[in-house]
Structures are given as C-alpha cells and as structure tokens.
A and B are shown apart, each in its own frame.
Chain A
C-alpha cells in the first residue's frame, strides 16, 4: 500500500534537496489550464511536461506551472517557456508527443522548436 509511511520516506529523502533547489530554477514552463485549454487537451500536456522535465533531469533548472486563459483559445493547448534574459517562447496546439521534442531540443539543447511556435502558425 502506498501509505503515509511511504510519504514520510519521500519527505526524509527530499529534505536536503529542497534547500539546494531554492532559487536555482531559472526556466519557467507555463501551461494554460482554463476551460479552453482543458477542453483542448491541456491536462495530458501538463503531465507530459512534468514527466519529461523530470526524466531529463532538469528539475533543478526548470519549474512547470499552470496559468489561466492566455487569450489564444483557438491555439490551445498552449505551453509558454520563460527564460531569464530571453524572449518568451509560445508553443501552440501542443501534444504530449510535441512536449517530448520541446524538452529535448529547447529545454535541454537550448534550441527553440520554431515549427511549434505561435509565430509559425497561419
């Protein structure tokens, strides 16, 4: 059983890490989670962001958060990437599969995946 005792073990493992991590997250990945986003499939996209960031070992550098309606409902699910000192990148019509590419090429590799960005839509 995944009991509270097991949660306690997680806590003991995490305690030291938390202190280290504070303030070092300089990239923010934001997923639109309003009615429009949710209806378009934002939930699996968000979960993919969390999982892929974790799998790639980027948790110290990247935070995944949620926001409301971004105002481009027809392009949902939308994922925005904020990086200190750089212009915001807006990825549109995202899927869990596309998230994998973005994490690999952009968050890990540092190259914006232009084919998924809002600027590339017509």
Chain B
C-alpha cells in the first residue's frame, strides 16, 4: 500500500462486511506520532479469529477469507517502530457493545513512515460504496480538528441517497475546505 489512507479504506471495508452500521475513523496526529483508530459496531471476532487476522500464516482454511488487510497495516506500523492492537467483542460476548476496534500507531519521523495520503478520497469512496452505512471521520491535528459525520448528512438529506454524485462532491469539497481552514 502506497498510502495509509488505502490501508484505512481496506480495514473499513472489513467493518462494513462485518455488518457495522457505524464505523468511526479517528486519526490523531502530533509532531512525532500518528495514530489511527477504526472502531465499528459490527459482528466482532472471537479471540481465535483475532489471532488469525494478525498473522496470515496462522490462518487455517476456515478463516482464510480474512486475508492480508491487517498484516499490511501491521507492517506499515511496525516498520516505523509503531504497533497495532485489536480488541473485539462478538455479539454473544457483549450483546450491547459488540464490534471491533483496530488501533495503529506510527512514528512519523521514521524513514519508513508511509504518508497518510489522500484520506478525503478514502472517505468519499466509503460513502459512495456504502450509502446505507454511517461513518464518523475525525482527524485531530495540532492546528485543529476535521470532522464529518454521515448521520448529520442523512438527517438533512432525508430520502436522497448519500451516494448521489452531488453529495459525494459535497463531501470532498467540505473536507478540503476544513483542511484548508486549519492550514491557514
């Protein structure tokens, strides 16, 4: 993966497949570290499956469908001296608060740090592909905070689908403006 925003897209696609109605993408950044948290309310995973998604070679045929998404994120984090953690509760373990949280931490000054890249494009792609799901995007930087919540959008749009081209363009322009504002 050339950009961390592509890893984010990949991991959130898993949240969507896990049936999450809401997936939160939280990015926190200071001079030294960048932390990405992806938190969903999907079906969750048992401890055994969590182990499986971290190490691709642990995977048995039964869990093979989990693939390379998490190992690639882990590689991107660890090659900067960072780490990832995964916590997950299945609906059986925790009927009211099931879901998965993936956290990845990166050392920004490391030579092998992958840039965050076009994260706006990732948010647009997610909404375009999954207009029936909700996403909360928050990027906290030293200079300010970027936030987009599809639940607010849905309230305004009512029965107009979130993946209408005008709406997707609005998402892009809204985020671009927010980023411009904190950079000036």
A interface residue numbers (CB < 8 A to B): 1-4, 6-8, 10-11, 13-15, 18, 33-35, 38-39, 43-44, 46-47, 50, 54, 59, 64-66, 68-69
Measured between beta carbons, the chain A residues less than 8 angstroms from B173 are 2
In the assembled complex, 16 residue pairs joining A and B whose CB atoms fall closer than 8 Å, in A order, are A2-B177, A4-B152, A33-B125, A34-B10, A35-B72, A38-B13, A43-B9, A43-B118, A43-B121, A43-B125, A44-B121, A46-B129, A47-B121, A50-B128, A59-B165, A64-B128
Q: B68 near A35 (CB under 8 angstroms)? A: yes
- Which B residues touch A15, using CB under 8 A? 159-160
- Cross-chain contact B165 with A50 (CB below 8 angstroms): yes
Residues of B at the A interface (CB closer than 8 Å) are 1, 6, 9-10, 13, 17, 67-69, 72, 118, 121-122, 124-125, 128-130, 152-153, 156-161, 164-168, 170, 173-174, 177
**Shortest distance in angstroms between B144's beta carbon and chain A's nearest beta carbon?**
14
Which residues of the other chain, A, contact B159 by a CB distance below 8 angstroms? 15, 18
The distance from the CB of B163 to the nearest CB of chain A, in whole angstroms, is: 9
Contact A7 B177 (CB under 8 A): no
Q: Which residues of A contact B160 (CB under 8 A)?
A: 10-11, 14-15, 18
Q: Known pairs A10-B164, A43-B122. 4 more at Cβ < 8 A?
A: A18-B159, A35-B69, A54-B165, A66-B125
Q: Which of A10, A43, A59 contacts B167 (CB 8 A)?
A: A10
Per the bound structure, the CA–CA distance linking A39 and B76 in Å amounts to 13
Shortest A63–chain B CB gap in Å is 9
CB < 8 Å: which of B17, B157, B165, B166 contacts A68?
B17
Determine which residue in B9, B152, B164, B168 has the highest number of CB atoms from chain A within 10 A of its CB, and name it. Answer: B164
Residue in A6, A7, A33, A64 whose beta carbon sits within 8 Å of that of B13 in the complex: A33
Q: Do B128 and A46 touch (CB < 8 A)? A: yes
Contact partners of A4 in chain B: CB under 8 A: 152-153, 156
